């Protein structure tokens, strides 16, 4: 099984659109996993029929039993996350700030605190016309996206073990969810754009991926928008020994197709011709597996 | 010696779980006298950092050998520090079939470099 | 007064809006610009000048081996697997630690104290006498974005006019940047993705009861979903930036369009005035 993660560092470089375009060309032999759990957009492009929705549990959260609580406030004093507020009548735990560490439970003499499982999102699985599909939604304000990414990826590997390719739409950034996304992937596809911020974010992303010994390949999106920026990206890629698989020009077809909720690679256009290089690269990798 | 195997259920007929730290049960076996017991994994549903915590649980239960699938980086460093011998598990099968393979010497031991 | 620029989706132009809003306001008064997008901070690319740096740390356990009795209490307590007790040693994973302080509390022999672990740095600079820039930079490989953002916000005074650039999305990190602000400007683009993510973050901002305004970027008048949503929810759209190769080119080269292109000064000025009004100035 070949696991390919599509990531970008900077958001909005076209990660999801590129993932969808690749997936459509591997119809029948791809499992899609959307690991951008803050803004899961792949479903808007691949239009899955969701068959199963499961609750996702994050870290436990503290709950205070008002019957036992003596309003002493020791829990609030010792909470490093400022998650507990004490008033004259009650003690409240802020569910967004609580990280489930258990200090309040330990320190409470009245034994009024309990740590309980907490649903902080859901993981969905279903089918698209191109193959099985998994994504997840974290309830707003919840952490633990790294764990959710881990859950989605595991499901993607297990849902149809005979399918040779797992294609992952990754999160932006370089934090916890990104690290969970690229861990153990065979190939990490960097989708970048020729802007100073795109370039800056790419450098940080490459540092993280290289420290995790990921194999990197690159696609430059909107390559004709800032020609000198694209030139700089080529130089950077060469220095870092990252192969550039293709440079996708600004193509009105891409926006049109995305608005219609279809992957752009289903019809011929300059962008589609470029994505063909990525498709062939992955086909070769699959042959070598 | 004591051998641990992550499993989907509490008996020898249950499948070896292909997750190490998030398997619902851990089966403990003494291959010499055949004595077995099972532990419900308290961390199966928990948030992050479960790998090292399950390793700690193994140490508390005097485990010396482990049969496990792919293991996360944190759990791996912990296992190396404990001196527990880890045998790689690939594919699928019941706990008892894994014990047979172990006894037959057909499972490869994980080394620091792998 | 704190005005936060946020977006549900990455790459919608949050940074463009923050940079230009701060620039326009700074022509009239002192402005603090705070980059809370600590995983991928970009504001400094537009305002390059001499920076002063300091490390941001979180406390992690420091175990005194000579007095530790390997009782296992700390390892049992830690929910995060950041320390585990083996037969002959305590093994630590500082990158899993959430700095709750529980381990030192439960240690019966007082062998655990805390030492600082670096999670990133804060860079401050004054690219212009009336513009102060504070940037949070998460160390590559660290998972502590929310703590980094809290550290950036500690540098900010509520008396100042502050423009915050939030991380994209609706995660706990984004919450840290939004909470307690006087206005949230949501930047979106007129696509199904843009609308979907706008709806998600709008839910969150409503939770905090912060006034909201929307900026539509890369507008090509082809999609009306975002505008209908704003109308339905009575959210003011305070600026539309067209999709334009020239803007993309300037922005991509790290230029400030409201400074370098007279055509853009006026719309951003109007947007700035509108923002101040909505924030209750």
Q: Establish if B56 belongs to a structural domain.
A: yes
Q: Is B113 part of the contact surface with chain A (CB cutoff 8 Å)?
A: no
pLDDT at residue B95 greater than cutoff 60? yes
pLDDT at residue A98 greater than cutoff 70? yes
A141-165 pLDDT tens trace: 777 778 899 889 989 988 998 999 9
C-beta atoms of A59 and B19 within 8 A? no
CATH fold of A61-117 reads Alpha-Beta Plaits (3.30.70)
Q: How many helices (H) and strands (E) does chain C have?
A: 10, 11
pLDDT at residue A7 greater than cutoff 70? yes
* Domain hosting residue B92, numbered range: 3-103
C33-47 pLDDT tens trace: 999 999 999 999 999
For B19, the closest chain A residue by CA position comes to A154
pLDDT band at C114 (very low <50, low <70, confident <90, very high): very high
Q: Establish if B16 belongs to a structural domain.
A: yes
Quote the CA–CA distance of A138 and A119 in Å, as a whole number. 9
Question: Any idea which architecture C58-118 has in CATH?
Answer: 2-Layer Sandwich (3.30)
C254 neighbourhood in chain A, CB within 8 Å: 196-197
Mean pLDDT computed over C135-147: 91
Distance of CA C66 to the CA centre of its chain: 42
A178-211 pLDDT tens trace: 988 998 799 999 999 999 999 999 999 999 898 8
C-beta atoms of A117 and B45 within 8 A? yes
ipTM of this predicted structure: 0.85
Domain count, chain B: 1
Give the residue extent of every domain in chain C.
2-55+120-278, 58-118
Whole-angstrom CA distances from C148 to C35, C42, C56, C154 are 11, 15, 7, 10
* Angle, in degrees to the nearest 10, between helices C14-26 and C262-278: 90
What is the reported pLDDT for A184? Answer: 79
Q: Establish if B58 belongs to a structural domain.
A: yes
What is the reported pLDDT for C18? Answer: 97
Q: Establish if B78 belongs to a structural domain.
A: yes
Neighbours of B94 (CB within 10 A): 18
Q: CATH 3.30.70.20 in chain A: give the residue spans.
A: 61-117
Mean pLDDT computed over A220-237: 95
C211-223 pLDDT tens trace: 999 999 999 888 7
Quote the CA–CA distance of C36 and B71 in Å, as a whole number. 35
Question: Any idea which architecture A2-57+121-288 has in CATH?
Answer: 3-Layer(aba) Sandwich (3.40)
pLDDT at residue C192 greater than cutoff 60? yes
Residue A53: CB partners within 8 Å, gap ≥ 6?
Answer: A122, A123, A124
CATH fold of C2-55+120-278 reads Rossmann fold (3.40.50)
Residues A2 and A187: beta-carbon distance below 8 Å: yes
Q: Give C116's Cβ-side CA count (13 Å radius).
A: 6
pLDDT at residue C132 greater than cutoff 70? yes
A56-93 pLDDT tens trace: 988 789 999 999 999 999 999 999 999 999 998 999 99
C-beta atoms of A196 and C249 within 8 A? no
What subunits touch chain B, counting only 3 or more CB pairs under 8 A?
A, C
Token pair 């004054």: residue: C126
Q: Establish if B41 belongs to a structural domain.
A: yes
C89 neighbourhood in chain B, CB within 8 Å: 81
C-beta atoms of A100 and B48 within 8 A? no
pLDDT band at B90 (very low <50, low <70, confident <90, very high): confident
């Amino acid at each position: 099984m070949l696991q390919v993660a599509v990531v970008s560092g900077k958001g909005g470089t076209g990660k999801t659109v590129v993932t969808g375009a690749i997936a459509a060309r591997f119809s029948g032999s791809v499992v899609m996993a959307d690991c951008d759990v803050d803004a899961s957009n792949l479903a808007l492009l691949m239009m899955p029929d969701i068959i199963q929705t499961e609750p996702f549990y994050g870290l436990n959260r503290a709950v205070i039993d008002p019957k036992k609580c003596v309003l002493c406030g020791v829990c609030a004093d010792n909470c490093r996350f400022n998650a507990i507020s004490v008033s004259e009548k009650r003690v409240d735990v802020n569910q967004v700030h609580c990280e489930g560490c258990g200090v309040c439970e330990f320190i409470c003499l009245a034994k009024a605190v309990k740590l309980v499982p907490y649903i902080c999102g859901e993981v969905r699985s279903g089918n698209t016309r191109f193959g099985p599909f998994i994504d997840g939604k974290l309830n707003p304000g919840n952490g633990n996206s790294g764990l959710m990414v881990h859950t989605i990826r595991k499901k993607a590997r297990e849902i149809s073990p005979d399918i040779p390719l797992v294609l992952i739409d990754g999160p932006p950034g370089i934090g916890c969810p990104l690290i969970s996304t690229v861990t153990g992937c065979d190939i990490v596809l960097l989708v970048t754009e020729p802007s100073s911020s795109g370039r800056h974010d790419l450098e940080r992303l490459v540092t993280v991926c290289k420290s995790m010994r990921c194999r990197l390949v690159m696609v430059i999106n909107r390559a004709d928008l800032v020609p000198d920026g694209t030139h700089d990206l080529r130089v950077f890629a060469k220095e870092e020994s990252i192969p550039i698989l293709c440079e996708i020009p600004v193509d009105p077809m891409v926006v049109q197709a995305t608005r219609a909720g279809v992957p752009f690679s289903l019809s011929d256009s300059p962008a589609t011709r470029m994505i063909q290089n990525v498709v062939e690269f992955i086909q070769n990798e699959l042959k070598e597996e | 010696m004591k051998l641990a195997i992550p499993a989907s259920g509490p008996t020898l007929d249950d499948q070896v779980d292909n997750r190490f730290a998030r398997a619902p049960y851990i089966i403990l076996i003494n291959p010499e006298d055949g004595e077995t017991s099972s532990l419900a994994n308290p961390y199966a549903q928990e948030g992050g950092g479960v790998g090292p915590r399950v390793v700690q649980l193994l140490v508390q239960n005097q485990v010396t050998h482990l049969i496990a699938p792919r293991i996360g980086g944190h759990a791996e460093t912990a296992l190396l520090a404990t001196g527990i011998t880890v045998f790689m598990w690939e594919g699928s099968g019941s706990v008892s079939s894994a014990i047979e393979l172990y006894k037959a010497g057909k499972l490869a031991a994980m080394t620091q470099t792998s | 007064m704190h005005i936060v620029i946020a977006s549900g989706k990455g790459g919608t132009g949050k940074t463009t809006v923050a940079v230009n809003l701060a620039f326009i306001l700074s022509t009239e008064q002192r402005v603090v610009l705070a980059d809370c997008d600590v995983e991928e901070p970009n504001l400094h690319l537009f305002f390059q000048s001499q920076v002063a740096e300091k490390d941001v740390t979180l406390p992690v356990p420091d175990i005194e081996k000579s007095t530790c009795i390997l009782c296992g209490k700390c390892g049992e307590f830690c929910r995060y697997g950041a320390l585990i007790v083996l037969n002959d040693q305590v093994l630590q994973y500082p990158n899993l630690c959430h700095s709750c302080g529980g381990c030192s509390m439960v240690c019966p022999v007082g062998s655990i104290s805390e030492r600082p672990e670096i999670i990133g740095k804060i860079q401050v600079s004054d690219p212009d006498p009336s513009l102060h820039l504070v940037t949070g930079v998460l160390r590559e490989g660290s998972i502590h974005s929310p703590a980094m953002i809290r550290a950036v916000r500690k540098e900010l005074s509520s008396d100042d006019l502050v423009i915050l650039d939030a991380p994209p999305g609706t995660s706990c990190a984004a919450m840290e940047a939004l909470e307690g602000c006087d206005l949230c400007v949501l930047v979106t683009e007129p696509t199904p993705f843009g609308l979907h993510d706008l709806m998600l973050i709008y839910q969150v901002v409503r939770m905090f009861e912060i006034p909201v305004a929307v900026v539509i970027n890369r507008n090509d008048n082809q999609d009306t979903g975002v505008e209908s949503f704003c109308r339905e929810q009575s959210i003011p759209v305070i600026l539309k930036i067209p999709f334009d190769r020239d803007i993309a080119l300037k922005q991509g080269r790290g230029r400030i369009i409201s400074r370098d292109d007279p055509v853009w000064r006026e719309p951003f000025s109007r947007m700035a005035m509108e923002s101040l009004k909505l924030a209750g100035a």
